[in-house]
Structure 1
């Protein structure tokens, strides 16, 4: 299986490993079974084509199937089609609604026709396996486990989890970010960003009102944890005896180097995603209002413009450029983007460290009024940088054309 078309799971391997240390034998067994099943699925190329016609165009038409605690998707029972009645099974309805809200978000906010931009059907499978502690996107469909009922609940319970997993499909059909090391962490971060935005959009929350938590509803009530991850405060989503302290870093100075293996979380993709997550959060609150409007547009356009091997610094450059194209060079939106990346210690070539942060703070204090004087130096710097980036882009295109 390629690095772009692979199994993307919401529960990272380091959390499942922690469950293997639980004093509860049932929790340990569920974690072990989940890890073994996940490893098997990663090794099966056939899983992506297990249901014939799943990816056929249909303007994002939804179909939810019940696997009935099995693992063979073609044997699943039809539970709710697009035009069918509501089910008596709540996980079926939650999956159906989550698929629809994610589809509608991409359509209404970014005019994108389903996950692939060409009307891809949205097929969901619930009640996968016995006490399966995960949910995943396999390149063609969304699959949900029921959780063990003691630590993790039914994985259809969080809208942002559903949107997160489906966004892996969007990334696969745009940048195709390779799923390892920094490009893989960007891949995970993009899913967190738009997973959170779908939830905020559905609730009509501003950036200031949002909780910026990913998977706040996956834990059972007995677990002392806020969520799987916090975009606002990476490293502070949980701190309890079962899992320890959330290990996510929030800046490059805390970047975690892990082996590029399944056991090493493909180079720490679920961990280091905290760095670009924090950058997006800072950008969104720096701009204010609804995060999906300005910050979301910048990130979405940057995703479409990025390559498969993009690193953090590459993506930072692209977001800065797109912010200038969408809102103007030297705009409050562009300065917020630059200040955010500098705050998480991701450098942007051609701009002096901390310049944007100071200018952005000055603009915010004045409510954005009279920022011409406060941002004059930054505007010149960004203008020069944008011109260089535009020229470089043209050179690259010209070079490709001669091949």
Structure 2
């Protein structure tokens, strides 16, 4: 069973149900039921038209649920007048669904969570990790969002900023592991850039291209994580970098700076450096200052502390780090790196080991464990 293929079909199937009159929450439940049925049936009896099969099964599940609920009799009468499921349309409805999920009835955070779950195909755990909240908290947020839109026709698209946030988080989840998900986010952001003349849309597209250009160099042949400073820059995609820089320069020229443009500018400075030693850290710190002003994000300030440590020395980086909450994800790993740079391998080894225990994914955990082992081996010599 090709899970990526199933996930790619989900938005189109969901869109068909919504266009036929199903409210979003009920449609999403029906589609999830159809996906479960596909996993059970398809290995032994694969359909000739996978999307059409999913639409048919999901629509039947939706009608069954509507009929079972006597308090929704009017909706049942309406949907029974809709045409029966036929061949699924070939149009790509994914971006349209992203806008519908950014509905004015939802707060931006709830809209993002709902879209990531229903359209982006992310699990509740993945979404919780992106928001730095417990999984149970995110599950409650998604449930509240579905209750809010239950019975509401999602026919009033939300704003571009919420859609950008969703695309950004989908890309980040893909960048950290699932390549197909990152590529899908880039594809949809290209569509959005073609449809909407907005510098932040261009900024997000540039940011994605600049980060995605490094994908081949981010892991070693054995699957281990390769830090930016140690990557083989000959493996970076120079065409993607050139395109990202060109798009970013055009956006910045409009003098309407936003957070995605600022992030893209930082990524461009990394991409522009022939070697890690030649990175313009002073200018990167300046861009992090702009980004912190725009977002007031603790994650931005954490990354800024790393940049300060590179530009002004590890002691300055540790001073910047001291002002941040120690419970912040990656705080311990950053502290370990800065202590190592400051000539304190014993403290760094201890912190690397502690950071490894807190790591959210296996690749990062293995990398931090190796860093701790390397320093401990040096100490024992």
Higher helix share: 2
Bigger Rg, which one: 2
Superposed pair shares fold, TM > 0.5: no
Higher relative contact order (CA 8 A, sep 6+): 1
Higher strand share: 1
TM-score, structure 1 normalization: 0.28
